Structure 1
Amino acid sequence: METSGHSGIEYDKVDKDYFEKRQLKRGAAGPLLLIGLGIAYVISGDYAGWNFGLAQGGWGGLMIASVLMAIMYTCMCFALAELATIAPTAGGGYGFARRAFGPWGGFLTGTAILIEYAIAPAAIAVFIGGYIKSLFEIDVSQWLVSAVFFGIFLGIHIYGAGEALRLIFGITALAVIALVVWIFAMAPFFDSAKWLDIAVNPDAAGASPFLPFGYLGIWAAIPFAMWFFLAIEGVPLAAEETSDPKRDLPRGLIGGMFVLLAFCALIMILGPGGVGSEALKANTNPLVAALEHPATYGGPTWISKFVNFVGLAGLIASFFSIIYAYSRLVFAMSRAGYLPRGLSLTNARQSPWVALIVPGIAGFLLSLSGQGDQLILMAVFGATISYILMMASHIKLRLAEPDLPRPYSTPGGVLTSGVALVLACIALAAVFVGDTKMAIGGHAISVAFLSAIAYAILVAYFAIYSRHHLVAAAPGEDAPF
């Protein structure tokens, strides 16, 4: 065992076989697949989840929140594109913070991302259930939906990375087509007056038809505005399966982000502008509800059935791709000893099967709550903490190591990452502003409190055990700090 002299960090030496059993398949993802992967991570947020923000802030509150989060994510993607070329490892944000702040910074960032990525598929599984009920007009149980989708897509990922990434790309293409069809179908019914049909709360400070729940509604809507973009930061997790990560990762991040910005704007304008904000604020399948509303097509049509059926592809694309993301993060952190080492074992097809299954079980169990809006808040809790730490990493490396080779340089430098950092702090506060209760075992528990407890347990594991048993010479651990 070797001691680093850095906050009590200690390393274990491992033999050559250790890393040979923990290899990913290089070259499985090119730049086009990475753009598709970035869109796939997020596209489910266009189909469901964002609309809960209407119930928190009205159309005006959600619109302002969406603009702020669009700025945050765009600035963040530019900063992450630079970081991805400095530390291209399967750990993504964990690797960036490890490079900037050492093992503690890496662990705190990586576990925050893990909370986000382990919970997001659970929320998406709930929305998949809503779309299936609407499409087939049956009351299917959430248990069955979750079991089928987790089972099938975990199995595909275990079979192999190249096959999984190509399937993700194909599913995402179908989801994009369905969104384009929806946009053209809704355009004839647009009327901006419909945006403001939610009743005004006269007791809220600053309340108006534009902000029916007042200024506080903007804050409460932020976690749901993030659903338009949440998880785009996962593109760098494919670094070790990319032929040329220093070229391809920035293209994947920035290309995917611009596509998502366009869809966010069009959906926010045309959905509530076609049927009103009140009609969509609580739907688990808002795009289909908009097409079948009396103010548009008045019931099921071939267009609504098409969007519903193919729209499932959007939910599945995000569900499928985020499973990919959490497995690579868990793989990288486990390989380096931050998480139990058994989680990083790969099979004969170089797929991290244990890192796929264990968080998948947690996601399956959480999905049984059926409370998609609360699960969104839990995922956003982890995401915002990781954003703060990743942007701080960008600033730290710019200031401490200005001569560090940067194949891609962030436009605006630390000003860009600084804007993202400030907005991420605001988004974290918004989780507590919009905090709700999740029913577990007959008890109502604060969602923010539950997320904080999970984070604290992971941090305690590192403080008590794993920081004394990190793996010497693991990718990223040989970087100076």
Structure 2
Amino acid sequence: MVDQQPKPVSAPTPTGAGGTVAGDDYLEKRKLKSGTAGWILLAGLGVSYVISGDYSGWNFGLAEGGFGGLLIAVVIVAGMYLALVLGMAELSSALPAAGGGYTFARRALGPWGGFATGTAILIEYAIAPAAIATFIGAYVESLGLFGITDGWWVYAAAYLLFIGVHLAGVGEALKVMFVVTSVALLGLVVFGVAALAEFDAANLFDIAPTGAAGASEFLPLGYLGVWAAIPFAIWFFLAIEGVPLAAEETASPEKNVPRGIIAAMVVLLATCALTLVLATGAGGAEAMSASGNPLVEALGGGTAATVVNYIGLAGLVASFFSIIYAYSRQLFALSRAGYLPTSLSVTNRRRAPVLALVVPGVIGFLLSLTGQGALLLNMAVFGAALSYVLMMVSHIVLRLREPDMPRPYRTPGGVVTTGFALVVAVLAVVGTFLVDPVAALWCLATFAAFLLYFGLYSRHRLVANSPDEEFAALAAAESELG
């Protein structure tokens, strides 16, 4: 049983293998602003995480599998994400804390499983903005804004500006994200209307079949192309799982988080279908497969293309902006509980975690200087898919081990639903090695380095009365009483 009485100290005090009991001052310096968001803002947050994937990035999957291969991959991945979201809706209603997937895995799989999940999510969220920054640079250059021809100025400005807004506080950040996301959704509607006039079904299949096994007009890269296209299909939905990270800053999180993440998923399913079919049908699969701004190039110029180009920039900004929020909350939760250096979770007077915003931002900016959007995308997908595997295992374990745990929302289909998501997530992890084994191996090495740090150092310094550790302690106590 963990001693829940705080000691009058301003920093964690070691208590041996059982971890640390933090003083009042320690937790007071690491507190987020509560009760800020309702389910509509959370739905907007979920869409904003992802909407850049409609404007750029997904189209590289056409080079891996052609339209048919990418289409099949999208159907499979959409099913996985729907199952994933339903599973996370249950977990977030039962365990509402800022750690999101890390919190769920900590309860189900112990400290090692929690840290592994949190690390995978952190890899995803630290790298995804870097990939998006390269796409923002491509859009800015195509518009000829400010005479910029070298994207690093754009990357630096984006990180500085949007980290600054987040430092002003979560309420302001979520409202800005909601407005920008609404504009980005409007841009997809404008694109859809304009693309219908350019649509030609023959354009969907203009990639010549190769000699790969199963190659055809529909699957020009063969059966293996479907698998290789999965990481790019994920870009249509990547990061929606970040909605539960806002749990501690949400009013009635046990109700609003499930509503928000499910509503966001419904919107994203519609935008995915619109973008994939109309952009490829208007611009051609071969041309779109290497485009930095496929929606604009699909329209081939004119007023509509210019409007979509400007609004597409808003879509990229929305995701860039919101994933900064996500990485800061994930890092905040891991730091507050002692898994990572505790200085990273200190908040300012507006209850924003300063170093948790700045440190991954610096790393992301340095990664963006490579200019390799497709490579960075694959690295982000590796972290995401690995976290999905661990989160779905967590759902299954908690259903089996703690069937009576209070769950205001329950996943339809239970472990069958999340079991399906688990299988596809495993395939997605392997798929990242098919697309770019070097990028995937770098991510795997980074993941291993984090685990080494935890094994040698931080697992002996966990903060026992942080929210995520308290969830686990209460579960252990209930198990002993039972």
Same fold (TM over 0.5): yes
Secondary structure in 1 matching 2:19: strand
Tell me the distance in 1 between the aligned counterparts of 2:368 and 2:380: 12
Partners of 1:142 and 1:367 within 8 A in 2: no
User: Which residue in the other structure is 1:50 paired with?
Assistant: 58
- In structure 2, give the amino acid aligned to 1:421: L
Equivalence for 2:454: 462
Matched, 1:176 2:185: yes
* Distance (whole Å) between structure 2 residues aligned to residue 46 and residue 161 of structure 1: 25
Preserved contact between residue 219 and residue 434 of structure 1 (Cα < 8 Å): no
1:313 maps to 2:322: no
Note if contact 2:98-2:244 (Cα within 8 Å) is conserved in structure 1.
yes
Q: Deviations over 1:228-272 (max 9, x none)?
A: 000000000000000110010011110000100011111111111
Mapped pair 1:369 → 2:377: no
CA gap 1:472/1:213 in 2 versus in 1, 3 angstroms: same
1:130·1:285 contact (CA, 8 Å) conserved in 2?
yes
The answer for the alignment partner of 2:9 in structure 1 is none
- CA shift, 1:69, in A, is 0.3
Contact 2:198 2:299 in 1 (8 A): no
- Counterparts of 1:76-475 in structure 2, within 5 Å, are 76-136=84-144, 138-202=147-211, 204-292=212-300, 299=301, 301-435=302-436, 446-475=438-467
Distance 2:288 2:221 in 1: 16
**Retained in 1: the 8 A contact 2:141–2:151?**
no
- Describe the superposition over 1:311-366 as per-residue Cα deviations: whole angstroms up to 9, x where unpaired: 11100000000000010010011000001000000001111011000011110000
Deviation of the 1:85 alpha carbon: 0.9
Cα deviation for residue 15 of structure 1 reads: 1.3
Which residue of structure 1 aligns with residue 48 of structure 2?
40
- Pair 213,139 (structure 1): closer, same or farther in 2 beyond 3 Å: farther
Q: CA deviation at 1:9?
A: 5.0
Give per-residue Cα distances to partners, 1:112-164, cap 9 Å, x unaligned: 00000000000000000011111127552122111100000000001111001
Structure 1, residues 164-209: CA drift from partner, whole Å, max 9, x if none?
A: 110000000000000000001101222222110001112x111111
Give the Cα–Cα distance (whole angstroms) in 2 for the partners of residues 404 and 346 of structure 1: 32
User: What is the TM-score with the length of structure 2 in the denominator?
Assistant: 0.94
Which is helix-richer, 1 or 2?
2
AA partner of residue 441 (structure 2): F
Q: Distance in 1 between matches of 2:27 and 2:450?
A: 24
- State whether residues 384 and 428 of structure 1, in contact with CA within 8 Å, keep that contact through their aligned partners in structure 2: yes
Q: Which amino acid aligns with 2:61?
A: G
Give the Å deviation of 1:404.
Answer: 1.1
Q: Is the 8 A contact 1:391 1:420 kept in 2?
A: yes
48-57 or 470-479, larger mean C-alpha shift: 470-479
Amino acid at match of 1:67: V
Deviates more, 1:269-278 or 1:33-42: 269-278
TM-score by length of 1: 0.94
Percent pairwise identity: 59
| Superposition deviation, residue 13 in structure 1 | 2.1
Amino acid in the other structure paired with 1:93? G
Residue 12 of structure 2 corresponds to none
Determine if the alignment matches structure 1 residue 28 to structure 2 residue 36: yes
- Contact 2:138/2:151 (<8 A) preserved: no
Distance of 2:207 and 2:459 partners within structure 1: 52
What secondary structure sits across from 2:235 in the alignment? Answer: helix
What code does the residue aligned with 1:194 have?
Answer: N
Q: Is the 8 A contact 1:377 1:431 kept in 2?
A: yes
| Contact 1:10–1:467, Cα closer than 8 Å, also in 2 | no
Q: Distance in 1 between matches of 2:57 and 2:91?
A: 29
Native 8 Å contact 1:75 1:419 kept in 2: yes
The amino acid of 1:374's aligned partner reads L
Q: Which amino acid aligns with 2:467?
A: P
Distance in 2, matches of 1:449 and 1:104, equals 21
In structure 2, C-alpha distance between the alignment counterparts of 1:361 and 1:188, rounded to whole Å: 43
Q: Which amino acid aligns with 2:151?
A: Q
The reply on whether 1:476 has 2:468 as its aligned counterpart is: yes
3-state SS of paired residue (1:394): helix
Task: Give the partner amino acid of 1:38.
Answer: G
Taking the aligned partners of 1:230 and 1:12, their CA distance within structure 2 comes to 35
Unaligned runs of 5+ in 2: 4-15, 477-482
- Aligned equivalents of 2:179, 2:148: Cα separation in 1: 29
Q: What is the count of residue pairs matched by the alignment?
A: 459
Q: Give the residue type in structure 2 aligned to 1:457.
A: A
